[in-house]
Structure 1
């Protein structure tokens, strides 16, 4: 196995103020509802749910030039019915704008 050393550059970034994003949807039987396809490319390492991903995208979109969120906190509001459910997800975090990459 060959390993390669990658030299990291100091990250040049700005942490903006607080931002929030929200997304609502649910399920009817087994079918999801409320998919907007406005999630862009967001890592799903911590968010497996499409409502969370859409809420993150909404929050990032509210800050000019932002790339990431720092320490997102999620709040859920759910209503369950016999054959359906309705959920709204709100994310609150600080936005980060990356000016130069962390890799040389």
Structure 2
């Protein structure tokens, strides 16, 4: 069975290119604001929630999420916080480590 990699920032250029390379040896999952594919899981950064199914059997997390630089509405971009790694840890990492410690 392949190891599972979870990538945040699925819509970014780096995530897309990296996933193409990783898919040869790993099962790749993505955290995204809007789930569109079977290997994508919802991450609501405003509510601080994550679909915990995304973390099942995950062995590696690659955090590439951040504010988009191509935002068309300048005010909207200014109001939105950058997604900090700490925010990811608070909303998700606790449940991930609990699952790992049970194994």
Same fold (TM over 0.5): no
- Structure scoring higher RCO (CA < 8 A, sep ≥ 6) equals 1
TM-score (norm 1): 0.27
Q: Which has the higher strand share?
A: 1
TM-score (norm 2): 0.27
